[in-house]
């Protein structure tokens, strides 16, 4: 009877596939990515202010490059195929288009694909077909 009280239910959780990103990772990285995109949007909208706008856009560009590089390094250490984040980071460096929250969109797509086994299998099949290899060369 005592054994039944201390049953942790470990057998139930062993059947679930292991997710690539845990809740803490998702929350922390999402905060960094959202605030980076928010800073970029504010900097782009402040271009109407003569000197302040240009300075903010320069700082926003540097921030975007640093965050994109850090995320690419982090994702490569986790061995995650991160083409969507890379594309989002590159698009974020284009002056007018960077007002869009491309890093956030890329991060959301990456988390959804990596944590969903069906979508991950589809992404792996697409990558093996050569589409990912062609995009990586561009």
Structural domain boundaries, residue 95: 21-137
pLDDT value, residue 27: 92
Residue 58 belongs to some domain of the structure:
yes
Counting the structural domains of the chain, the total is: 1
Distance CA(28)–CA(36), nearest Å, equals 13
Structure confidence by residue, pLDDT tens digits, 60-69 = 889 988 998 8
Domain assignment present for residue 25? The answer is: yes
Spatial separation of the C-alpha atoms in residues 76 and 85, rounded to whole Å: 11
Within-domain flag for 100: yes
- CA 37/CA 98 separation, integer angstroms: 8
- 110 domain residue, yes or no: yes
Give per-residue pLDDT as tens, 19-34: 788 888 889 999 999 9
Burial grade of 128 (CB within 10 A; 0-12, 13-18, 19 or more): exposed
Q: 20's torsion region: left (phi>0), alpha (psi -120 to 50) or beta?
A: alpha
């Amino acid at each position: 009877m005592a054994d039944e009280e201390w049953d942790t239910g470990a057998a139930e959780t062993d059947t679930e596939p292991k997710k690539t990103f845990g809740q803490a990772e998702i929350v922390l990285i999402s905060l960094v990515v959202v605030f980076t995109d928010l800073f970029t949007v504010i900097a782009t909208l402040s271009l109407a202010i003569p000197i302040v706008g240009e300075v903010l856009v320069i700082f926003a560009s540097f921030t975007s490059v640093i965050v994109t590089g850090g995320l690419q390094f982090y994702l490569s250490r986790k061995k995650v195929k991160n083409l969507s984040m890379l594309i989002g980071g590159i698009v974020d460096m284009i002056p007018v288009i960077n007002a869009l929250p491309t890093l956030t969109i890329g991060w959301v797509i990456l988390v959804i694909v990596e944590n969903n086994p069906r979508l991950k299998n589809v992404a792996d099949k697409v990558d093996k077909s050569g589409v990912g290899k062609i995009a990586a060369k561009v």
